[in-house]
Amino acid sequence: MDAQYFSQLPNDVQEWAQNIEAHCGFDISVRREPRRHTACEFGPGYARILLPNNGVLRPESGFHELSHLDRFLVKGIGQLVPVGSALHAPEAAFTKLDNALEHIAFVGAEVARFPGRNDYWCEIIRRELQRLPGAAMDKNDRKMWTLVLNAFFAIANLQAVATVEELQQAIHRYLNVGEVEDFVATVRDRLEDKLTLSQFICGKWGFQLHTVGLNCIDVASGSEFVTPLG
Ligand SMILES: [Zn+2]
């Protein structure tokens, strides 16, 4: 990683970045662009952190993007993608769902390392919940997003009274309590296995499983392959 950005990270995060680069056999590049939030993009032969134009790589943002890169490029965990031509949902829907599943898996560790992130993520969840009633989605989508956001809050072990209130209002609107508890318990059980987790969530959502897959990257061979969920 370019020294200008690398030097903005604490020692343990620097070491993690170096380990990811060593595993991949290429550097993590950093690109500045007109954007509000830090993000990342990657493929079999590259990994890139995208920064807002101010060029500030905050330690917690670096940690967050490295968490994504570590899972996809080092651990080889797959990313949800549409499969075939019989699609009934746009690719963006899968990207958003995949991002949520990834955050459920690693934001607990992020908050343990950077406790200030608790408030950040609680606020994100609140905003998502407040957007649901007016969003262009059907009743089932609202119900499923309420379940996913509940799982995120519980599994990442987030804490905020205001967010709990928002979650309860959404549960009251779209769900019943038993359904939430079962969903969170099943997600927690399957967290270590993205394939069975994706099968469970996409099946419950109502997707036909053969139209969704997990795209896995193998950096050693520089290739990627898609495993359909069904
Ligand atoms: Zn993320």
Quickly list DSSP for 41-91: EEETTEEEEEE-TT----HHHHHHHHHHHIIIIIS---EEEE-SS---S-H
Please tell me whether residue 207 adopts helix, strand or coil conformation: coil
Tell me the CA–centroid distance for residue 82 and ligand 1, in Å: 20
Tell me the CA–centroid distance for residue 104 and ligand 1, in Å: 10
Tokens representing 3 are 């020294």
pTM over 0.85: yes
Measured between alpha carbons, how far is 20 from 16 in angstroms, rounded to an integer? Answer: 6
Tell me the CA–centroid distance for residue 99 and ligand 1, in Å: 6
Tell me the CA–centroid distance for residue 103 and ligand 1, in Å: 6
Q: Where are the domains of the chain?
A: 3-74, 79-228
Tell me the CA–centroid distance for residue 62 and ligand 1, in Å: 11
Measured between alpha carbons, how far is 103 from 64 in angstroms, rounded to an integer? Answer: 9
Tell me the CA–centroid distance for residue 173 and ligand 1, in Å: 28
Q: What is the pLDDT of residue 86?
A: 54
Sorted by sequence, the CB contacts under 8 Å of residue 66 that are 6+ apart come out as: 13, 16, 17, 20, 28
Strand partners, 227: 214
Q: What is the pLDDT of residue 94?
A: 86
| Sheet order of strands, 46-51 included | 28-32, 46-51, 39-43
Measured between alpha carbons, how far is 229 from 197 in angstroms, rounded to an integer? Answer: 10
Tell me the CA–centroid distance for residue 36 and ligand 1, in Å: 14
Regions of the chain where pLDDT drops below 50:
none
Q: How many CB atoms lie within 10 A of CB 78?
A: 21
Are 49 and 98 a contacting pair, CB within 8 Å?
Answer: no
Are 154 and 121 a contacting pair, CB within 8 Å?
Answer: no
